Structure 1
């Protein structure tokens, strides 16, 4: 019985291990290409390089395992094995050189002359190598020349590949963590050149020790070249390699078991029993054993739930549109993080803002992430692993720093809601096609759920608006009746008080004057209530807004001056808009009087500034004071009916002003001025005659 030396077993095992890694690399590349997740020249060359390298190391492993049976000097099968090894090896070198050209972003498609030179030289060197393999190996000049040409060619091709990598400082072919891969690529490629050179020198010598040293060197060489490819899908490569090793190991153990169980049988029965038991063991290993091994290593390496689709489905069923878009998105991110054991996940909304769950700092990405239509065109499919290089250049650096390993579109039936970003470590950055399909299905269902939550929110908002409108309508009718009942006796009382004031000999002149002033205030409040209750549409005519502002300011200037307040007006000579002049004047009067009341108890500079300006197709009025302002939490409530910050206010002035401006097709808003008081800005449409003048 022939005994295989231990050194041959170890070298053959190393070759088989490298072969398995390259087989997994070829498989992942082929799956990505078949499913359409990978595009471009690199993705098309990726599986071809893996297959060629896998064949080269497979033939090398067999030749090392059975050196006598596959000796090219004594066996035609050995000659064919060496020829296949040479052909696959040089094809892999040419493919790697071809891929190196496309590492640079935006690299042009290579011309036929370059391709002919690249693959033609590989073919010529392969023919030289195959011709040399048919001759007996000795220490002659021819044998040395054969070794020098073949290994010199390999060293030259990898040197040219490294030169291409060094010129490319911004390579887009990166790991999910970007900067990790390029130093590894350059260092491993430089080591490859050294190893090939050493191997070429060693293999031109004949001693067995030197030959096995070269074999170990070539095994290390294959592992180093595989490193840049494996690190892009490190978790998947580890899992698949371990599964393959278990499968091979179990197969070998099964073969020994079958041999042992049938060793006692007669010679004529042993063969058929070995066939039968081998088939049974093979079916068991290929069926239940392979699946169990796959699930075990998937759980150990990725720590992910076995039934990920079920976990995500249950999480979606637990969500309700009544929670609102914000709560639905946060809970969905939590479910995704749990199912795939992510460090964190975030959702950047299409129209701005973000939600996060777990360990994820998304601020920098949120600042530069495209919005609106730019977000629609950003990524229309799921990007994971090496596919993240399809993101715009300005997003790659922050994406690498945040350790984002996947970007998923969340799209509803009518709109894009945003993008889910997933963060995890290097091992967990690999996603299989089934996992990506599960994530995409989850994102699609989330988009529909957000559609429902948004629609429900809009419906509730409309219901609240209708209820509020009905309430205001009822208040308006009641106000009109009360105002009418108050106005008539108040008018009669004021008329009598005015007559008493006009009597020269009245001993109560001062008291009568106070009564008239109080009744005037009642009249003003009643008029304000009637204005609020009366909802008539404005009559829009062409108005010189600049002139109207100056006239209104001059009417109020005396009373402001007596209160120690300076009124500053900044306006152009003329500025036209379509407006109801009287209603617009009342709005400006209300804003200026509110500013006056705010400055009444203020210390320091008392100043009201009114500025009129135009921009694009709108005109603006801005009223700013130097008063104390209002608390930040009250800014959103200033225009609500009956809300007031003044002790004697009714809370109707700004509500009427808002309604008036909106009836003009404009907008009014309030803001706190840093270090000063409040600022009210009114935007109105510019007169169309001026726009096209």
Structure 2
């Protein structure tokens, strides 16, 4: 090795390290047990060939000066063949990068690899000539590689997808990637021409080779910064330390007696062992801590934190606290969870809206990967999901929240450029955190269900007691009321008697009392249901048609949204009573509202049930009254008995359905009745 060869070796070493790190990361991906991909297989071989080519350059530059030797010829041949092979493999990988993958045909493969094989044969023959010089064969290799390199650039620009550049793990080439490579190549060529004009052609060629290699590596290296930066720093530090040991060894050997040289050799070997064994582990840990803000204690801290969360907090609060701790411990910009029911929770800097808009729900989400999202899983996602993940800066930091009971949703990290899960131990730690979170959510859900069942049982016992008492009271009151009503009817029919108007008022009030007694008895009665397939659209149309004159008389416009084919398993008469009750409540709510007054009946089919929705644009219900709206004897109307909605709830729950009220969009109230679908005949 000469001093003149040290600078070229150093220049070649930088891109050689970058490409070796990229190749090692791709080979390490095989150990994860994820599915294979033709793109990954070819790209893995291409990066390995580039790393071999640059390593051959380093070795050739470090050879001692003198005539060509067998070692020099072998290294030169490896350098030239790996150059042509890497370009052929690279062009093949670029062809496979677009999603979905479209493997090239046999003719394309034959032309691509046939040209590379022909160039390789020509280079081998050139090296086999008597006393070949290194420079002519290297020039021949560059001329052979030039058409393949130009084809790679054209192939990359032709297949690159337009769109903003961002961190992603799908290994999909975008037009900004090609532009970045192009500008890097232009800068490298400009520097080469300047050096050539200054008479520094040999050094210019070295800079040209190293610059081209770095320009091509730039898009991939930027997406793997979390791997490239620590590995380059660690490797460069280790090489510098080893070089220092060798320089010190050489300097001391020149001044020591021959009898002391064995001791010096042992000391140098021990120093090198310390540098490359404990020194490497210490350097990697320090780099991860200082550059990536990672340490071995992070996973233990996250697991310990989840153990401190109580299921009594509820699923939403557990998610919020887990996200906050994940941001604090891993020092990522932001995190988010999209639950299976569509609710989204975010903490920190996270662009959640685009992801929520396109993320599938229900049965559509079953097609998503059931493990953490690696590069192959990301390539299998639809384009809209990949774009939303890129906009949210989620690279390799997403996983489903799966428990043995159910899928809760998905957890995402805004990993940026440095925070992706590139190492398998990071992936395993992240998956362990998500799995433990899923178990915690299971516990919170089971606890909430248990509490709900206990409350429902207590409520049912309370309602049963109220119903029994109401039935007794109604029965005791109904008989004297009926007698008084009969007498009032007789008095009202005698036109000659005084106080006829008062008699009619008494009769109306007694009839109102009797109607309320009837409601009490209906609330207490346990009717048998006659279940049958009921077309909700037809039922809503008939009911609304019967009530439309009364609604129009009150200045209310009624609308119906009823697609055909929504069939529920229900008692037709009971369900009609429920709908009439809801429409009359809407009419009462709109009585004091300004025009225009609207009520809409909508029928829906989805999420495993048939739904009937009644929406008005009235004043709505106060938020604190919504939870009590279906309780017996609770009413927001001054003259209401509080039994109408309680009877409706009783009837719906007897069908195995649910009834809920929520604020309508803008103003008003929406009551949704959900019933089981009728089984297909």
Q: Which band: TM-score by shorter chain?
A: 0.7 to 0.9
SS of 2:371 mapped into structure 1: coil
The correspondence for 1:127, drawn from 124, 127, 130, is: 124
Q: Does 1:356 align with 2:346?
A: yes
Partner residue, 1:176: 167
Inter-partner Cα distance in structure 2 for 1:224 and 1:215: 14
**Distance of aligned partners of 1:109 and 1:528 in 2 relative to their CA distance in 1, 3 Å threshold:** same
1:83 aligns to 2:102 (yes or no): no
- d(CA) in 2 for partners of 1:550, 1:430: 59
Q: Paired residue for 1:328?
A: 318
Q: Does 1:117 align with 2:117?
A: no
The residue that corresponds to 1:35 in the other structure is: 32
Give SS of 2:520's match: helix
Residue in 2 aligned with 1:57?
A: 54
Structure 1 match to 2:286: 296
2:399 partner SS: strand
**Distance between the aligned counterparts of 2:80 and 2:585, measured in 1?**
91
Matched with 1:229 is 220
Tell whether 2:7 aligns with 1:4.
no
> Structure 1 residue 652 and structure 2 residue 650: aligned?
no
Structure 1 residue 190, shift from structure 2 partner: 7.3
1:523 aligns with 2:514: yes
CA contact (8 A) 2:15 2:54 kept: yes
Query: Deviation per CA, 1:517-547, whole angstroms, max 9, x where unpaired?
Result: 3332222222211221112223468999979
**In structure 1, what is the equivalent of residue 265 of structure 2?**
275
Q: In the comparison of the two structures, how many residue pairs are matched?
A: 670
Secondary structure of the equivalent of 1:648? coil
Separation (CA, whole Å) in 2 of partners of 1:386 and 1:579? 48
Q: Name 2:178's counterpart in structure 1.
A: 185
Q: 2:574·2:651 contact (CA, 8 Å) conserved in 1?
A: yes
The question of 1:217 aligning with 2:208 is answered: yes
Residue aligned with 2:400, SS: strand
Match of 2:10 in 1: 13
Counterpart selection for 2:158 from 164, 167, 173: 167
**Residue in 2 that maps onto 1:513:** 504
Structure 1 counterpart SS, 2:411? strand
Report how far residue 256 of structure 1 moved. Answer: 3.2
Query: How big is the alpha-carbon RMSD for the aligned residues of Structure 1 and Structure 2?
Result: 4.4
State the 1:294 CA deviation.
0.6
Relative to structure 1, the CA distance from residue 626 to residue 453 in structure 2 (aligned partners, 3 Å threshold; closer, same or farther) is closer
8 Å contact kept, 1:103–1:171:
no
* 2:477 pairs with 1:486: yes
Rate the CA distance shift 1:116–1:556 in 2: closer, same or farther, 3 A.
Answer: closer
Secondary structure (helix, strand or coil) at the match of 1:404 reads coil
Structure 1 position 367, deviation (Å): 0.8
**Structure 2 counterpart of 1:96:** 90
Q: How does 1:129-528 map to 2 (within 5 A)?
A: 129-131=126-128, 134-136=131-133, 143=136, 146=137, 149-170=140-161, 176-177=167-168, 182-188=175-181, 192=185, 209-260=200-251, 265-270=256-261, 272-384=262-374, 388-405=378-395, 406-429=397-420, 431-498=422-489, 500-501=491-492, 506-528=497-519
Pair 1:439–1:313, CA change in 2 (3 A): same
Worse overlay, 513-522 or 340-349: 513-522
Deviates more, 1:439-448 or 1:218-227: 218-227
- Cα offset, 1:317, TM superposition: 1.2
Instruction: Name the SS for the 1:429 alignment partner.
Output: coil
Contact 1:174 1:232 in 2 (8 A): no
The two structures have a TM-score, normalised by structure 2, of 0.84
2-structure distance, mates of 1:65, 1:516: 115
Give TM-score scaled by structure 1 length: 0.83
1-structure distance, mates of 2:530, 2:307: 54
Structure number with bigger Rg: 1
1:233/1:430 contact within 8 Å kept = no
**Of 515, 523, 534, which aligns to 1:532?**
523
CA contact (8 A) 1:165 1:186 kept: no
Q: Is the 8 A contact 1:79 1:134 kept in 2?
A: no
Which runs of 5 or more structure 2 residues have no equivalent in the other structure? none
Contact 2:292–2:418 (CA<8 Å) still a contact in 1? Answer: yes
SS of residue matched to 1:176? coil
Q: CA deviation at 1:444?
A: 1.5
Q: String of CA shifts for 1:145-178, please: whole Å, max 9, x gaps.
A: x565322111111001111112113289986258
Contact 1:125-1:150 at 8 Å conserved across structures: no
List aligned pairs for 1:473-622, cutoff 5 A. 473-498=464-489, 500-501=491-492, 506-539=497-530, 583=574, 586-587=577-578, 590-591=581-582, 593-595=584-586, 597-598=588-589, 601=592
Deviation at 1:289, TM superposition (A): 1.0
**1:115-173 deviation line (CA, Å, top 9, x unaligned):** 641441242133144236832579xxxx5xx5653221111110011111121132899
Q: 2:576 & 2:19 partners in 1: Cα distance?
A: 80
Mapped contact 2:288–2:295 kept (Cα < 8 A): no
Contact 2:160–2:174 (CA under 8 A) maintained in structure 1? no
Q: For residue 357 of structure 1, give the secondary structure of its aligned residue in structure 2.
A: strand
Can you give the 5+ residue segments of structure 1 that lack an aligned partner in the other structure? none
Residue 474 and residue 608 in structure 1: after superposition, are their counterparts in 2 closer, same or farther (change >3 A)? same
**Does the Cα contact within 8 Å between 2:582 and 2:614 map onto a contact in 1?**
yes
Q: Distance in 2 between matches of 1:614 and 1:372?
A: 16
